[in-house]
Amino acid sequence: MEFRARHKWLRLSPTKARLVADAVRGLDVQEAIDVLKFMPQKAALYIGKAVRSALANAREHKGEAKPDVDKLYVQTLMVDGGPTIKRIKPRAYGRAHRKRRRTSHVVVILAERPADLAPRRRARAAAGAHRVREPGPHPKALEGEAAAPAASTQPKKPRRLGFGRREKYDAKVKGDGQPKPPSKEKATVEHRKTESGTKGGSKKK
């Protein structure tokens, strides 16, 4: 049995509303209401109203078979785009820029969860996605340790640094405490005076 509610003509972008809808789709009704209550997005307020309206429809059902409200969950939550309202914004030099005000239509369908269908929150845990790992080293770490000796036996190849240069692995780090090599001081050249003047210069007249 399904219970439907609609919230139309929302002054909200469908793209932003779908982000909120994806967060609560598949959850139990009460859990979805609690999540939407504390979400800061504007769309959470309107989607929460639609979910509570569908829940009220289920409680006020006049049929012979009364639904179990505790088993209801958000089966379908669709956000469709509505008409776009065109507006303009005045700009400089008499120009006008187009402003598009988006609208949305929200459709919520609640249904009773079958016994063989686990809640979305516990479905992955039942499938083993959230298994608790036993204490100890990770299996991938053990595989890496087993492969490490084979990789260490091969000599390390120098990297290409571009322009035909190679990286030197035996280069010493600067500032390792060893004395610096003697710096090559510039040889001072003494100018000798000759009859024609200073060597290398023109003769003064």
* pLDDT, position 65: 79
3-state secondary structure of 55: helix
Q: What is the pLDDT of residue 114?
A: 82
**99: in domain:** yes
**Cβ atoms of residues 133 and 140 within 8 Å:** no
> Which pLDDT does position 116 carry in this prediction?
72
Q: Which one is predicted more confidently, 200 or 71? A: 71
pTM over 0.75: no
Domain count, the chain: 1
Instruction: Specify if 164 maps to a domain.
Output: no
Which position has the token pair 């990789």?
Answer: 151
- Of the spans 94-98, 109-113, 200-204, which averages the highest pLDDT? 94-98
| Partners of residue 193 on adjacent β-strands | 198
Mean pLDDT of the chain: 78
| pLDDT-based confidence at residue 52 (cuts at 50, 70, 90) | very high
| Kind of pairing between the strands at 197-198 and 193-194 | antiparallel
**Token pair 């003047």 in the structure block, residue:** 197
With a cut of 70, say whether residue 28 has pLDDT above it. Answer: yes
Domain that holds residue 98: 2-121
> How much of the chain exceeds pLDDT 70, in percent?
57
pLDDT band at 197 (very low <50, low <70, confident <90, very high): low
- Tell me which residue of 102, 113, 131 sits closest to 28, measured CA to CA: 113
Residue 164 — pLDDT band, cuts 50, 70, 90?
A: low
Task: Give the N- to C-terminal CA distance of the chain in Å, as an integer.
Answer: 120
Domain-located, residue 193? no
For residue 59, being part of any structural domain is answered with yes
Kindly write down the DSSP assignment for every residue of 69-108, as one continuous string.
Answer: GGGEEEEEEEEEE-PPEEEEEE-GGG-EEEEEE--EEEEE
Give the whole-angstrom CA distance, residue 81 versus residue 106.
9
Domain membership of residue 82 (yes or no) is: yes
Q: Does the residue 17 lie in any domain?
A: yes
Residues 6 or more apart whose Cβ sits within 8 Å of residue 17: 10, 43, 46, 47, 79, 104, 106
Predicted pLDDT of residue 69: 87
Residue 197 lies in a domain: no
Residue 88 maps to which CATH number?
A: 3.90.470.10
CB within 8 A of 184, min separation 6: which ones? none
**Banded pLDDT at 62 (limits 50, 70, 90):** confident
